[in-house]
Structure 1
Amino acid sequence: MPLADRVLTIHRDPHSQEVLARGGDIEAHSLLQRAGFIPVVRVHESYHRAPTGLDEDDESRLATEAVARLRAGGYHVDCDAGFGTDRRPARDLPLGAAVAQLAERIRQATTTDEVADALTELTASHDGILAAIDQVLTATAEFHDGLGDAADAHIARRLRYLAEEHLHVIRTGLAHTRDALADRHAPHPGRSTCTEQVPAHERERSAVCACPPPPRTAPVAPPPPVAARVRR
């Protein structure tokens, strides 16, 4: 990871008076969002800002919390004097990291049954991850129903559309994939688990395991020779 990605600045802009955070990698951006900052993506730059409608004290508390979280995560933060803090809050494992462990299980899987088990956590109809996302979208839509602004009803309809159409397609496709793998009961031909056991019939006792040799790749044929052109 480049050292520059471990460095951020959090300052109050002298012109706009906004509290802005710049720099950092994608993990730092997640920490900023969890502290309350809002990402801004422009054509030539991206940064994070404090939410609108906060008074100066609230902005300072938000920035101080971001500095504490970032420094606890090992980032170097250059900030206004009023945002500095020695507090280093403990970092809990985010829910997304727990879900990402399913991807690691699939990367390490050697059989279709193992992948089907991992996908079950996503596709289980009652308490799977995608079912929970459906509940989150629906709850957020219900929240917007009573907010009162003109755009809120449209946002609620949009959220329900995402749940009923887009998320439904993902759930259906993954559930089909999971069920097909569960019926297959096959090892992955390109992955195997080394038992480090030498079979009894092995004559070469120097062998360390019974794993088959890796597949040989056919050599690439050289390109055909190009005939020289006669200069005139």
Structure 2
Amino acid sequence: MALADRFLAIRRDPHSTEVLARGGDREAHSVLERAGFVPVYRLHETYHRAPTGLPQDEERGLATEAVARLRAVGYHVEADEDFDTDRRPAHYQPLGSSVVHLADRIRQATTTGEAADVLTELTGPHDGILDAVGQVLAAAAEFHDALDGATDPHTARRLRYLADEYLHVIRTNLGHTRNRLADRHAEHPGRSTCTREVPAGEREASAVCACPTPPRTVPAPPPPPVAAAPRR
């Protein structure tokens, strides 16, 4: 991570009077959006703004909360005096962190069965993660059904389409992958479980396990010399 990504600025723009947050990495952007900011994507940068239509006191509270949350997790934040605060709220791991943990389990899996077990957490028909995502999309569609904006019915239909079509394709294909892994009963060729046992015939007295030594990397041969061009 670049050191510059640990720095942000949250200020009221003197021209547009918007409250803008600039800088930071993806983690900082996640903190900003959880605090209520809206991302703005441009060709050369991504920045965040306060939602439109907020009274100034609510904008001030939103920006102050963002400053507090960012500083609580180690970011250096330059802020307008109105947004400055010494408060450091407790930081809790978001729900996505537990899902990312599944990726770590797959990276450590030594058999197809172990990988299938992890994918089951996604594809479970009753309580899998993808099923839960489908329920969230359905609830968001129902929420829009009750709103009275001109585009709300279209948004509700679009959310249901995402759940019925796109999410269905992901769930179906991932389910097939999980089932093929479950039937395969194979070990990963590049991974092994270390038993921490040293065989009786081990020659190296310093050995602490029976794992094979990693293969030597043979250096690439140097390029052939270039013949000098004849002088004229």
Q: TM-score, normalised by structure 2?
A: 0.92
Aligned: 1:72 with 2:72: yes
Paired residues, number: 231
Question: For residue 60 of structure 1, what is the aligned residue in structure 2?
Answer: 60
- Hey, what's the Cα distance between the residues in 1 that align with 2:44 and 2:208? 56
Give me the whole-angstrom Cα distance separating, in 2, the residues matched to 1:84 and 1:189. 54
Partner of 1:129: 129
Partner of 1:174 in structure 2? 174
1:164-203 alignment to 2 at 5 Å?
164-200=164-200, 202=201
Q: Please report how far the alpha carbon of residue 208 of structure 1 lies from its aligned counterpart in structure 2 after TM superposition.
A: 3.4
Q: Give 3-state SS (helix, strand or coil) of 2:9's partner.
A: strand
Cα displacement string for residues 2-58 of structure 1 (whole angstroms, at most 9, x for unaligned residues) = 221111100111111100000011100000000000000112222100001100000
Query: How far apart in 2 are the matches of 1:121 and 1:104?
Result: 13
Gaps of 5+ in 2: none
Counterpart amino acid of 1:192? S
Q: Structure 1 residues 223, 80: CA separation in 2 closer, same or farther (over 3 Å shift)?
A: closer
Change (3 A) 1:60 1:188: same
Q: Which residue of 2 aligns with 1:3?
A: 3
Query: What whole-Å deviation, never above 9, does each CA across 1:161-193 have from its counterpart, x for those lacking one?
Result: 111111111111111111111111211010012
CA shift for structure 1 position 209: 2.4
What is the CA–CA distance in structure 1 between the aligned matches of 2:153 and 2:226, rounded to whole Å? 68
After superposing on structure 2, the runs of 4+ consecutive aligned residues of structure 1 that deviate more than 6 Å are 221-232
Other-structure match for 1:50: 50
Q: How far apart, in 2, do the equivalents of 1:156 and 1:131 lie? A: 18
Letter in 1 for 2:203: E
RMSD: 2.0
Corresponding letter in the other structure for 2:39: P
1:15 matched residue in structure 2: 15
The residue number in structure 1 matching 2:105 is: 105
Q: Deviations along 1:84-134, whole A, 9 cap, x unmatched? A: 111111011100011100001111111111111111110100000000000
Structure-2 separation of matches of 1:49 and 1:72: 20
Q: Measure the CA separation in 1 of the matches of 2:24 and 2:194.
A: 40
Alpha-carbon shift at residue 63 of structure 1 (Å): 0.3
In the alignment, structure 1 segments of 5+ residues that lack a partner are none
**Residue 159 of structure 1, CA deviation:** 0.9
Give me the TM-score of the superposition, normalised by structure 1.
0.92
Superposed, 1:203-218 pairs within 5 Å as: 204=203, 206=205, 207-215=207-215
Q: What is the CA–CA distance in structure 2 between the aligned matches of 1:209 and 1:3, rounded to whole Å?
A: 39
Higher mean Cα deviation, 125-134 or 37-46? 37-46
Match of 1:32 in 2: 32
2:116 is aligned with 1:116: yes
Residue 187 of structure 1 aligns to which amino acid in structure 2? E
Q: Secondary structure at the match of 2:193?
A: coil
Instruction: Name the residue aligned to 1:85.
Output: 85
Deviation at 1:196, TM superposition (A): 2.2
Change (3 A) 1:31 1:223: same
